[in-house]
Structure 1
C-alpha cells in the first residue's frame, strides 16, 4: 500500500471498476487520496466493492452506480451522479470491456461483433465525449485514460471483434488527444498484457497457469490486475501533465517478443484455451468468476445453456421493476427475468415473502417490502432505486387484488376502496414516481397489467372489472402523453392458475397454465415490446386455452 496522497481532492470515474483491472485501479486511486465513482453493470460486484471499501479508511470517498457503458443515457447519468456527489470531475477511466466470442473471424456472428464494438469501443467514445464536455466547462483540464489490449497490437492475441475494438480504442485516444489538448485535457491509453485472473485460469490449477505465464514472458512474472494499478494512478496525477496521446503497454515484455498467444504454438495461450474448453464456455466472459471466493457470477451476457429456451442471440441486461412479486405471476416473472440475466427490482407487502426472494435471488437483485397504495413509501423507494440503479428499462405494474366474489350491491365501501386503491391508485403511484425518469431514457416500456375482465365483464367481480377498465383508460391516456421514444401498454396476461383464479374459477383453475409455464412465454413477449407498440392493448399469446 502506498502512502502517497498525490490524488487528494481529485475525483475519478472508473467504468468496469467492480472487478478485475478496474477494481485494482479503484483500490490504488483511493489509497492515493482520490474520490472515486465506479460504474459497472454487475450489481452484486458493486455492492461487494462498496461494502468492502466503506468498512475501511476510504469510507465516504467511493460511490457506485449501475451502468451499461454501451448506452449513452447511462454514461450521462453516471457523470451527472459524479458531479452531484463530489462537485467536479478530474479524471475519466474508460475501462469496462467484454472479451467476446472465441470463434474464428468467419464464424463470428454479427450480433457478437456489434455487441463487442458497443461495449469496448462505443463506450470509450461516449465516456470520452461526455467527460471532455464536463472538463471543458470546468476550465481546469483533466485526464482521460482508455484501456485497450495487446490484442490491438497483434493479430494473435484475441478474437477478431475484440482485437478490432481495442485497436479502435488506441486510434480514438490519439484523435481525442489532438482535439482536446487545447483545453488542457490529456488522453492516454493503457494496454494490458495477458493476465492471470479468473477469466483465464477458470479455477483450473491457477498456480500452474501462473508458473506457465512467468516462464513464457521475458520478465519472469505472472501478470495480475494489481500490476496495472500504478499506471492508472500515474496518468490520473500531475506527474503525467506533459504526456498525452501515448500508449503505455504493461505486458511483462510480451509484445517485444512478438507474442502470438492463440496461434496454437504458445503454451500459455494453449493453457488458457484449454481451461475455457473445460469450463464449457464459448465467450471469453462466460463463467469468469463463478467459483472465485467471495464473488458471484456476473449478470452481464450470460451463456446460453444447451437446454435453454432463449433465442441464440444474447440479451442486453435490463433493469426490470415488478410490483406484486410475492407469489403468482409476479414471482414467476422474477424467476424468468433473472434466469435470462436481467436485474430484477421488486416489491410486495409480505415481509416474509420479500425476505425469501432476496435470499433466493441474491444481491444482484433488489426486493422491498412496500404497499403500492402508500404514496410516500413509493416515493422513498423510487428515490432509492433511481439513485442506485437508474430508471427501469421495463416497468411491470402487476400488483392487484380480486376482492370478494359477490353481487355488486353486496360490495361494501371498504371493499371497493381497497380494490380500487391497490389496482388503480397503486399503479398511478408507481408511474408518478418512476415515469418521469423513464421518459428521459430511450426505449423505456411501462406495462400496466389488465385482465380479460378489463376488456369485457363477468358477474360477481364488478369492482375488479371496474378497476381493470380503469387501467385500460389510464394506459390509453398516458400513451398519448409520453415521448415517442417510450411506450405504455396494457396487458391481458391470459388465464393462469393463480390464487386469484382459484378463487374465481374453483377446481376449473387447474386446467390452465401455471405461473411458471406462463412466464416462459410471457417474459420473452414482454422483452420484445418496443415504442412502436405504444398505446396497444396486448395479450400474452396462447395463454387463454385450457389444457
Structure 2
C-alpha cells in the first residue's frame, strides 16, 4: 500500500473494464485519481467507488481525439490538484476488419482514438508535468498485436504499432525533464471490449490456443503492470514495452 502516495494520476478510458480497474488500484495505492472517459454516468460510478473506499478522485469527460478537450481537462486538473504526476493512456477501441474489408470511416475512427489520442495525451501530459518540474511517468497501452500479424484488425494493429514507437520517441524527448514513458502490451484480456469475441470462440479462440498459459488474461493482471511502471519502483525504466500476454509473443 502507498506506492503512489502524493501522486496525481490521470487514466483515460477509465469508465469501465481495464481502465476502471487501474483507477481503483491507483487510488488504493494512495494516488489522487482523475477518471477520464466519455461515459459520464460510468465515470461517476468509478469516482463514487473510489471515494467510498476512502480515496480521492475527479471525474472528467474527455474525448481523447480532441485537442480542445485535452486543454480543458488539463485546466480542470490544475484547478483541482495543482498538477499531474502520472498519465495512463488507456483509452482504445477495437476494430476487426482486415485490409480488404475495412471502410475508411472505421479506419479513421480507430486511428483517431488509439493513435491520435495517445499523441495528444503525450503532448498535453508532458506539458503539465514539465510545469510542475518534478518529472512524471506516462504509461501507454499498446498490444501484442503491435508485433504480430493476424490477417485482420488492420486499423487496430496499425494504431498499436504506432503507440509502440511513439513511446520510445517520447521517452528520449522527455528524459531530460525526468519524465519516464513506457508502454504495456497486453495479450488477449477478458474485458467488455473482447468478451463477445471470446465468448463466440470459447477456448478454441486462436489467441488462447497460441498462448502458452492457455487462458485469457484478467484486467487486474494488466493493472498490476501499469501500477509498477507508474510507481517509483520503476524509476530507472523508460522507453520499454512490458508484455502482459501469457507468453503469446514468445510461442
Shorter-chain TM band: over 0.9
Tell me the residue number matched to 1:209.
202
Q: Is the 8 A contact 1:201 1:209 kept in 2?
A: no
- 1:158-203 CA-to-partner distances (Å, cap 9, x unmatched) read 5111111110011111001111111111100111111123333329
- CA separation of 1:171/1:205 partners in 2, compared to 1, >3 Å: closer, same or farther? closer
Q: CA deviation at 1:141?
A: 0.8
Tell me the residue number matched to 2:28.
31
Give me the whole-angstrom Cα distance separating, in 2, the residues matched to 1:158 and 1:188: 26
Return the TM-score normalized by structure 2. 0.93
Tell me the residue number matched to 1:69.
64
Tell me the residue number matched to 2:73.
78
Q: Is the 8 A contact 1:25 1:232 kept in 2?
A: yes
Give me the whole-angstrom Cα distance separating, in 1, the residues matched to 2:12 and 2:38: 9
- 1:225-254 CA-to-partner distances (Å, cap 9, x unmatched) read 111111111111111111110011100111
Q: CA deviation at 1:111?
A: 1.1
Match for residue 7 of structure 1 among 4, 8, 12: 4
Give me the whole-angstrom Cα distance separating, in 1, the residues matched to 2:239 and 2:199: 39
Give me the whole-angstrom Cα distance separating, in 2, the residues matched to 1:204 and 1:220: 13
Give me the whole-angstrom Cα distance separating, in 1, the residues matched to 2:170 and 2:198: 41
Tell me the residue number matched to 1:349.
none
Task: Establish whether residue 109 from structure 1 lines up as the match of residue 103 from structure 2.
Answer: yes
Give me the whole-angstrom Cα distance separating, in 2, the residues matched to 1:238 and 1:203: 36
- CA separation of 1:210/1:27 partners in 2, compared to 1, >3 Å: closer, same or farther? farther
Task: Establish whether residue 155 from structure 1 lines up as the match of residue 154 from structure 2.
Answer: no
Match for residue 57 of structure 1 among 35, 54, 57: 54
Equivalence map 1:394-409=2 (5 Å): none
- CA separation of 1:81/1:198 partners in 2, compared to 1, >3 Å: closer, same or farther? same
Structure 1, unmatched stretches of 5+, are 258-547
- CA separation of 1:190/1:205 partners in 2, compared to 1, >3 Å: closer, same or farther? closer
Give me the whole-angstrom Cα distance separating, in 1, the residues matched to 2:49 and 2:157: 34
RCO higher in 1 or 2 (8 Å CA, sep ≥ 6)?
Answer: 2
- CA separation of 1:214/1:168 partners in 2, compared to 1, >3 Å: closer, same or farther? closer
Give me the whole-angstrom Cα distance separating, in 2, the residues matched to 1:37 and 1:11: 8
Tell me the residue number matched to 1:88.
83
Give me the whole-angstrom Cα distance separating, in 1, the residues matched to 2:174 and 2:70: 19
- CA separation of 1:181/1:65 partners in 2, compared to 1, >3 Å: closer, same or farther? same
- CA separation of 1:203/1:123 partners in 2, compared to 1, >3 Å: closer, same or farther? closer
- CA separation of 1:114/1:192 partners in 2, compared to 1, >3 Å: closer, same or farther? same
Q: Is the 8 A contact 2:188 2:208 kept in 1?
A: no
Q: Is the 8 A contact 1:210 1:222 kept in 2?
A: no
Tell me the residue number matched to 1:182.
176
Give me the whole-angstrom Cα distance separating, in 1, the residues matched to 2:151 and 2:136: 32
Tell me the residue number matched to 2:217.
223
Secondary structure at the counterpart of residue 144 of structure 1: strand
Match for residue 236 of structure 2 among 221, 231, 242: 242
Give me the whole-angstrom Cα distance separating, in 2, the residues matched to 1:143 and 1:231: 13
Tell me the residue number matched to 1:42.
39
Alignment coverage as a number of residue pairs = 250
Task: Establish whether residue 97 from structure 1 lines up as the match of residue 72 from structure 2.
Answer: no
Q: CA deviation at 1:214?
A: 6.3
Secondary structure at the counterpart of residue 100 of structure 2: helix
Q: Is the 8 A contact 1:150 1:157 kept in 2?
A: no
Give me the whole-angstrom Cα distance separating, in 2, the residues matched to 1:252 and 1:204: 16
Secondary structure at the counterpart of residue 123 of structure 2: helix
Q: Is the 8 A contact 1:211 1:222 kept in 2?
A: no
Give me the whole-angstrom Cα distance separating, in 1, the residues matched to 2:198 and 2:212: 24
Tell me the residue number matched to 2:13.
16
Larger radius of gyration: 1
Cα-Cα RMSD: 2.1
Q: Is the 8 A contact 2:136 2:179 kept in 1?
A: yes
Tell me the residue number matched to 2:248.
254
- 1:20-70 CA-to-partner distances (Å, cap 9, x unmatched) read 111111111111111100110112211221232232222xx1111111110
